[in-house]
């Protein structure tokens, strides 16, 4: 930007890290200012509006001659930097370094759709960018905090891609230390000024506090180590009991409906089918009630694993009571919501809250909503990780694939189509001209371009598209059942387990399906082909074929 004596550098990738520069010549007292941003404005300058109070700026005072500098004890979230204080860009050599905790990447996914492959890369980059000592929400603005809701919905995807055991176990220790005697949890771990909303001083909110159960269970499922459940059990129980307390303010059929309108909830956070933050929050009675059912079920299952029989029975009954209340209050008793929205169907379908005779009708109604919305996403944080499962597992795999492959906004691949190199907080972060349309629109101008939560779709890529599903915690026994569909002609994935690396590759040529599976030593695979043929295989490499 010659009119401002400013140079813009594009590193080609959004990430968390720092720059390092070498000045070829400089004078004593010369002032170099380097600012960081994720996107540019239409005039080519940095767009820093969404950093809020974060300065994201380095100021370096020179000595005479050549010199080099890289900051310590800090990091930024950025793709672009501006450089001021030099006469020519030729005076400086600048490079950037990505910073993240020492976590090994143990898995990856690829398929015949290059946009989905870029989506997978974006999931990886957003994970690294937000795994800096703690699991954060975003690395660029003034927060950079351990928001519980983000990792709650993303933990399963993280476990496919990375060995996050020690990383998340340490964070869970922090969570347990910060939990109140009442069972309440801060919304951020470590707690900060966002820890407890003013209107809810001693309680976490639905799905955010659920991290106390969802994260340990994700680790247990991946590694098969009960230790994390034993360490977390008391915390899990205190949290679910606290949620049950809030739900019991209702009377009659509302007794198990968690509806506390005077108390802050995130609700269907960043759902794109409604425009204001207040509209997201109005859905909290649906999301909170479904949350209570899910956490009660998980706690009952953990009690079974740890041989706590009384707790197993008690929380199973609680989960059943919550399910019945959800159907009684929110539906016509025939699988149709009285107030329809995608998340309102997704959660009870995924958490098995509908009566058996109503499941198919609920799934059909969800399908109709998705079709009406042109296969675009309408879910917020709570529903997004589960929507493709809710469709595919209830007979609508074609609809799920149309959502996955959709490139219209809002969708996973729209972001990729307009140049995203990480996962966004908001689906509409940029329009097709590369401009940010978000202002003070009732959401506080909230946008991050490096926010992994909606990247939880990675769980579907591994479990359904590639077909890798644990049958036992730790993958001693696992399922390989690829869900073919959409326009995909091949997919492959691998993930490391305690027994070794599972590898899956499938392809379709001339209506012939071919599947390669690598089974680690000491484990057993159940392979299900599209023609319903079933095979059981132990350690080794295998090839299967079927006619479609």
pLDDT for 419-475, tens place per residue?
Answer: 999 999 999 999 998 888 776 555 556 899 999 999 999 999 999 999 999 999 999
For Cα atoms 366, 367, 372, give the angle at the middle one, nearest 5 degrees.
Answer: 100
What are φ and ψ of residue 490, in 5° steps? Answer: -160, 160
Please give the CATH number for the structural domain made up of 107-457.
1.50.10.10
Dist CA 291 CA 347 (whole Å)? 8
Which pLDDT score, from 0 to 100, does residue 193 have?
63
pLDDT for 98-142, tens place per residue?
Answer: 999 999 999 999 999 999 999 999 999 999 999 999 999 999 998
Dist CA 361 CA 397 (whole Å)? 16
Which pLDDT score, from 0 to 100, does residue 199 have?
53
Which pLDDT score, from 0 to 100, does residue 197 have?
59
Nearest Cα neighbor of 211 from 294, 165, 149 is: 149
Sequential pLDDT tens for the chain (548 residues): 655 789 999 999 999 999 999 999 999 999 999 999 999 998 999 999 889 889 999 999 999 999 999 999 999 999 999 999 999 999 999 999 999 999 999 999 999 999 999 999 999 999 999 999 999 999 999 889 999 999 999 999 999 999 999 999 999 999 999 998 889 898 899 987 656 655 565 666 789 999 999 999 999 999 999 999 999 999 999 999 999 988 887 778 888 999 877 677 899 999 999 988 889 999 999 999 999 999 999 999 999 999 999 999 999 999 999 999 999 999 999 999 999 999 999 999 999 999 999 999 999 999 999 999 999 999 999 999 999 999 999 999 999 999 999 999 999 999 999 999 999 999 999 999 888 877 655 555 689 999 999 999 999 999 999 999 999 999 999 999 999 999 999 999 999 999 999 999 999 999 999 999 999 999 999 999 999 999 999 999 999 999 99
Dist CA 147 CA 175 (whole Å)? 11
Q: Taken in order 541, 109, 146, 184, is the CA torsion positive or negative?
A: negative
Dist CA 358 CA 360 (whole Å)? 6
Dist CA 474 CA 165 (whole Å)? 12
Locate 344 and state its tokens: 């309102």
Locate 505 and state its tokens: 């590759």
Dist CA 309 CA 314 (whole Å)? 9
Per DSSP bridges, beta strands 524-528 and 512-519 are: unpaired
Per DSSP bridges, beta strands 46-47 and 134-135 are: unpaired
- The Cβ of residue 313 has, within 10 Å, a number of other Cβ atoms equal to 13
Is the link from the previous residue into 268 a cis peptide, with omega within 30 of 0? no
Q: What b/e sequence results for 16-43 when a residue is b if at least 16 CB atoms lie within 10 Å of its CB, and e otherwise?
A: bbbbebebeebeeebebebbbbbbbeee
Which pLDDT score, from 0 to 100, does residue 445 have?
67
Q: Which residues are catalytic?
A: 143, 425
State the number of CA atoms in the 13 A half-sphere of 327 facing the CB: 21
Domain definitions of the chain by residue range: 2-98, 107-457, 477-547
Looking at domain 2-98, its CATH architecture is: Sandwich (2.60)
Dist CA 417 CA 115 (whole Å)? 7
Estimate to the nearest angstrom the gap between the alpha carbon of 308 and the chain centroid. 31
Max distance between CA atoms of the chain, in angstroms, equals 80
What are φ and ψ of residue 263, in 5° steps? Answer: -115, 140
Do 366 and 391 form a contact (C-beta atoms < 8 A)?
A: yes
> DSSP label at 461?
I
Locate 168 and state its tokens: 């998340």
Locate 298 and state its tokens: 């998980």
Residues 6 or more apart whose CB falls under 8 angstroms from that of 113 comprise: 405, 486, 487, 488
Residues 6 or more apart whose CB falls under 8 angstroms from that of 170 comprise: none
Regarding the domain with residue range 477-547, which homologous superfamily does it belong to in the CATH classification? Answer: Maltose phosphorylase, domain 3 (2.60.420.10)
pTM of the model: 0.96
For Cα atoms 544, 546, 548, give the angle at the middle one, nearest 5 degrees.
Answer: 150
Do 218 and 151 form a contact (C-beta atoms < 8 A)?
A: no
Which pLDDT score, from 0 to 100, does residue 152 have?
98
- The Cβ of residue 456 has, within 10 Å, a number of other Cβ atoms equal to 22
Do 173 and 165 form a contact (C-beta atoms < 8 A)?
A: no
Is the link from the previous residue into 190 a cis peptide, with omega within 30 of 0? yes
Do 119 and 125 form a contact (C-beta atoms < 8 A)?
A: no
Per DSSP bridges, beta strands 107-111 and 46-47 are: unpaired
């Amino acid at each position: 930007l010659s009119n401002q004596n400013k140079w813009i550098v594009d590193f080609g990738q959004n990430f968390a890290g720092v720059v390092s520069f070498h000045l070829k010549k400089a004078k004593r007292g010369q002032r170099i200012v380097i600012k960081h941003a994720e996107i540019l404005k239409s005039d080519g300058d940095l767009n820093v509006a969404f950093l809020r109070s974060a300065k994201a700026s380095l100021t370096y005072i020179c000595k005479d001659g050549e010199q080099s500098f890289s900051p310590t004890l800090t990091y930024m979230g950025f793709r672009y930097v501006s450089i001021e204080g030099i006469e020519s860009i030729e005076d400086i050599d600048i490079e950037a370094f990505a910073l993240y905790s020492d976590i090994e990447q143990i898995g990856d996914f690829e398929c015949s759709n290059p946009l989905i492959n870029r989506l997978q890369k974006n999931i990886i980059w957003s994970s690294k960018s937000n795994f800096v000592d703690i699991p954060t929400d975003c690395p660029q603005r003034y927060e950079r905090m351990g928001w519980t809701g983000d990792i709650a919905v993303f933990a399963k995807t993280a476990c496919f891609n990375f060995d996050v055991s020690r990383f998340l176990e340490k964070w869970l220790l922090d969570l347990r230390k910060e939990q109140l005697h009442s069972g309440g949890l801060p919304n951020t771990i470590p707690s900060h000024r966002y820890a407890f909303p003013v209107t809810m001083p001693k309680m976490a909110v639905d799905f955010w506090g659920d991290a106390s159960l969802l994260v340990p269970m994700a680790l247990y499922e991946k590694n098969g180590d009960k230790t994390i459940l034993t360490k977390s059990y008391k915390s899990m129980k205190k949290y679910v009991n606290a949620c049950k307390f809030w739900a019991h303010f209702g009377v009659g059929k509302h007794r198990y409906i968690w509806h506390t309108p005077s108390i802050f909830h995130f609700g269907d956070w960043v759902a794109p089918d409604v425009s204001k933050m207040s509209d997201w929050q109005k859905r909290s009675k649906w999301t909170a009630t479904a949350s209570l059912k899910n956490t009660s079920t998980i706690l009952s299952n953990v009690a079974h694993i740890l041989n706590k029989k009384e707790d197993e029975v008690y929380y199973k009954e609680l989960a059943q009571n919550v399910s019945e209340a959800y159907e009684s209050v929110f539906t016509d008793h025939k699988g149709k919501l009285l107030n329809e929205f995608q998340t309102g169907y997704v959660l009870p379908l995924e958490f098995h809250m509908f009566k058996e005779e109503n499941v198919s009708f609920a799934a059909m109604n969800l399908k109709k909503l998705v079709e009406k919305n042109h296969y675009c996403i309408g879910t917020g944080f709570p529903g997004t990780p589960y929507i493709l499962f809710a469709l595919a597992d209830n007979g609508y795999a074609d609809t799920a694939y149309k959502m996955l492959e959709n490139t219209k906004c809002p969708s996973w691949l729209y972001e990729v189509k307009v140049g995203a190199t990480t996962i966004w907080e908001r689906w509409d972060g940029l329009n097709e001209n590369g401009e940010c349309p978000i202002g003070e629109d009732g959401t506080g101008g909230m946008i991050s371009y490096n926010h992994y939560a909606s990247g939880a779709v990675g769980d579907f890529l591994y479990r359904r598209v590639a077909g890798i599903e644990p049958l036992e915690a730790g993958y001693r026994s696992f399922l390989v059942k690829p869900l073919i569909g959409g326009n995909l002609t091949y997919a492959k994935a691998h993930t490391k387990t305690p027994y070794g690396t599972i590898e899956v590759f499938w392809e379709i040529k001339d209506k012939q399906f071919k599947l390669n599976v690598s089974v680690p030593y000491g484990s057993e695979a159940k392979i299900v082909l599209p023609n319903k043929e079933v095979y059981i295989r132990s350690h080794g490499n295998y090839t299967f074929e079927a006619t479609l």
